[in-house]
Structure 1
């Protein structure tokens, strides 16, 4: 079973916690959905995405809270510098980042970039 766990595909979604404290939960969920949908479209031909979408009943998403815009921007920089694919969702017309979603990755390849963040509650 350990081998199966090591190869599980996951999608991380990081939401700004400062917004989650002020906005209605429906608005936060909408932001996460926008980012998740957009990243799946952008990377629709990526082998991980194709595999992830081949078993819709077993998709695995991890929704985390990033404290604020500065921390979200820092996460963007880390992911970019490590060549990890994601979509930063920027709410319009306000033009500010609200969350990001990664394309599906094998959990062991991506989890370290997110380990300091807590689950969104």
Structure 2
């Protein structure tokens, strides 16, 4: 029988604190921070161009990689949930990164880009995680608990030109 009680708030646990940044910042502050950080990371010769033109040329992308063996054997909703866990976790883990701030900026929140790919199984996702670590690509390998199963991974947002080479051999998830 399903419980009708609401889920417990994880922030009530002593080991976890509420996300102070989100609760204390206004959209205006985030927008100004985004503009300053984004413009400081742009080459001087490109500063004359509008940020949206630069974004179109080399968009920020978050890569999400799922396991095909789980797609074929688990309910679709469960696999989608694993990808969501990895994506949100990567964004949260790297929330102070300028690229993540730019990706989540209020002006661009409706323009997020994700590429969802697949690998065959557990060994391939573990190998990919190691290659990303070696290449300096920040990511979150989601390990489902309590089963301890690596189900998927997600990168923090990167310019497409920076991260795409790590994913060229993978298939789009269909």
Q: Between Structure 1 and Structure 2, whose CA radius of gyration is higher?
A: 2
Name whichever structure is richer in strand by fraction: 1
Where do 1:62-73 residues align within 5 Å? 62-73=115-126
Structure with higher RCO (Cα < 8 A, 6+ apart): 1
Partner of 2:167: 114
Partner of 2:66: 15
- In the TM superposition, residue 81 of structure 1 has moved relative to its aligned partner by 0.4
Partner of 1:100: 153
Query: How many residues are treated as equivalent by the alignment?
Result: 121
CA RMSD of aligned residues (A): 1.4
- In the TM superposition, residue 56 of structure 1 has moved relative to its aligned partner by 1.1
| Conserved 8 A contact 1:6-1:106 | no
**TM-score after normalising by structure 1:** 0.95
Where do 1:37-52 residues align within 5 Å? 37-52=88-103
Aligned equivalents of 1:14, 1:4: Cα separation in 2: 23
Where do 1:20-35 residues align within 5 Å? 20-35=71-86
- Which stretches in structure 1 are left out of the alignment for 5+ residues? none
**TM-score after normalising by structure 2:** 0.67
| Conserved 8 A contact 1:6-1:108 | no
Runs of 4+ with >6 A deviation: none
- Which stretches in structure 2 are left out of the alignment for 5+ residues? 1-52
3-state SS, counterpart of residue 94 of structure 1: coil
Instruction: Say which of 87, 109, 123 aligns to 1:56.
Output: 109
3-state SS, counterpart of residue 62 of structure 1: strand
